[in-house]
C-alpha cells in the first residue's frame, strides 16, 4: 500500500475505535471534549499577528465571533475601538510629519526655472 492509503486506513481505524469506545461507555465524551479543546488551544490559541501562518484564520474566527455576537462584551469592544482609533491617529500624525510640508520649489526646480527664463530672454 502507498503511504497515503496506509495513513487513510489508520485514520479510519482510529476513528472507528474511538466511536466504539464512546458507544461502549469506555470513553467519556466530556473527557474527549476537554482533550480536543486542549489540543485546539495548543494549536490555535496563540495569536502572533500578521505573518503568522494562522493569521488569516484568526481574523476569520474573530469576524465570526463578532458576527454571532455575545462573545465580546460591548464595553470591551468600545475600548478596543478607542485603542485602534488612537493608534491610527498616531500613525497618521507620524506619516504627516514624515512628509515635508510644501516649502515651495526645490533647489533643482528653481535652477531649472531660472535656466529656462534665461533661455527665453536670449
Q: What is this structure's pTM? A: 0.53
Residue 81 — very low, low, confident or very high, per pLDDT cuts 50/70/90? very high
Alpha helices by DSSP H, listed for the chain, are: 3-23, 29-44, 55-68, 74-98, 107-121
Element holding 19 (H helix, E strand): helix 3-23
Would the pLDDT of 115 be above 90? no
Average pLDDT rounded to a whole number, residues 53-77: 94
Would the pLDDT of 5 be above 70? yes
Would the pLDDT of 3 be above 90? no
Amino acid at each position: 500500500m502507498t503511504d497515503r492509503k496506509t495513513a487513510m486506513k489508520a485514520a479510519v481505524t482510529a476513528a472507528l475505535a474511538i466511536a466504539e469506545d464512546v458507544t461502549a461507555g469506555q470513553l467519556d465524551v466530556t473527557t474527549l471534549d476537554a482533550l480536543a479543546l486542549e489540543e485546539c488551544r495548543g494549536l490555535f490559541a496563540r495569536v502572533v499577528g500578521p505573518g503568522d501562518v494562522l493569521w488569516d484564520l484568526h481574523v476569520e474566527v474573530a469576524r465570526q465571533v463578532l458576527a454571532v455576537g455575545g462573545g465580546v462584551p460591548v464595553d470591551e469592544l468600545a475600548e478596543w475601538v478607542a485603542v485602534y482609533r488612537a493608534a491610527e491617529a498616531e500613525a497618521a500624525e507620524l506619516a504627516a510629519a514624515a512628509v515635508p510640508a510644501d516649502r515651495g520649489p526645490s533647489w533643482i526646480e528653481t535652477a531649472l526655472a531660472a535656466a529656462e527664463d534665461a533661455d527665453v530672454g536670449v
